[in-house]
């Protein structure tokens, strides 16, 4: 007679805008005795509504939703940030088709535990989920070192200190704030969701240590004047 207690499965939530991908991932993960897919979503809104209700241990999140392409949105990272705010114990594993330092930077800042490419083997993805579920990190050491170097200080000696705190995408948004653009106009210019722009602007204000959008616009203009001089 075996008195060993049954293993509690790792509860996994999936976010990907392709149904076929979600089904394939579900079949792969549910075939493992210690993994259980407890929910999935095809959009950021669905993920934010469904994931907290099923209390997953790990969320596997596609970085870019809606077929936005290599320069498109990063809604999956915004979902990571929001879910982590609601469930600090949740481990988020970002899944992407693109090897992108900016996305990795944003993922780390959003609290992601791991970042893997979609070309990963199924067995390696299963291992990655187990790794982040155990509280460990699945971030490439070399890429993480590059991100930490950006966090420590300016990329170049002449980089204004205000810009040193911002990611390239945030710098782009700051410039457009300086141009007097609204959130909607910025979203249209950069092919982002308006909510994503709003979240990015909140992060920009926090990093710049200001409370109002107009203050950020003043900083943007000051940087412009410095560049012109």
CA distance 92 to 133: 9
Taking the chain (229 residues) in runs of 10, the rounded mean pLDDT of each run is: 66 95 95 96 94 96 68 75 90 82 76 86 93 83 60 52 77 89 88 86 86 83 75
Angle, helix 183-190 to helix 168-178, in steps of 10 degrees: 130
Residue 117 pLDDT? 85
CA distance 168 to 52: 31
Residue 42 pLDDT? 93
The one-character DSSP state at 116 is E
What dihedral angle (degrees, nearest 10) is formed by the CA atoms of 128, 130, 133, 136? Answer: -60
Residue 70 pLDDT? 40
pTM: 0.64
Angle, helix 101-109 to helix 168-178, in steps of 10 degrees: 90
> From the CA atom positions of the chain, what is the Rg in Å?
19
């Amino acid at each position: 007679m075996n008195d060993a207690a049954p293993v509690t499965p790792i509860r996994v939530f999936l976010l990907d805008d392709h149904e076929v991908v979600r089904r394939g991932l579900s079949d792969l993960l549910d075939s493992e005795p210690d993994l259980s897919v407890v929910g999935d979503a095809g959009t950021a809104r669905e993920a934010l509504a469904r994931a907290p209700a099923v209390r997953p241990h790990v969320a596997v999140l596609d970085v870019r939703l809606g077929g936005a392409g290599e320069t498109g949105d990063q809604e999956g990272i915004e979902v990571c940030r929001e879910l982590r705010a609601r469930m600090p114990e949740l481990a988020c594993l970002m899944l992407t088709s693109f090897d992108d330092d900016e996305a990795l930077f944003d993922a780390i800042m959003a609290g992601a535990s791991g970042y893997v490419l979609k070309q990963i083997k199924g067995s390696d993805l299963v291992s990655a989920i187990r790794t982040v579920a155990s509280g460990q990190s699945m971030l490439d050491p070399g890429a993480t070192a590059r991100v930490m170097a950006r966090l420590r200080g300016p990329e170049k000696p002449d980089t204004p200190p205000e810009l040193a705190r911002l990611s390239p995408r945030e710098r782009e948004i700051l410039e457009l704030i300086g141009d007097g653009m609204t959130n909607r106009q910025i979203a249209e210019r950069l092919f982002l969701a308006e909510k994503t722009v709003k979240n990015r602007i909140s992060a920009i204000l926090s990093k710049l240590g200001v409370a109002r959008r107009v203050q950020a616009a003043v900083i943007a203009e000051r940087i412009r004047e410095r560049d012109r001089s």
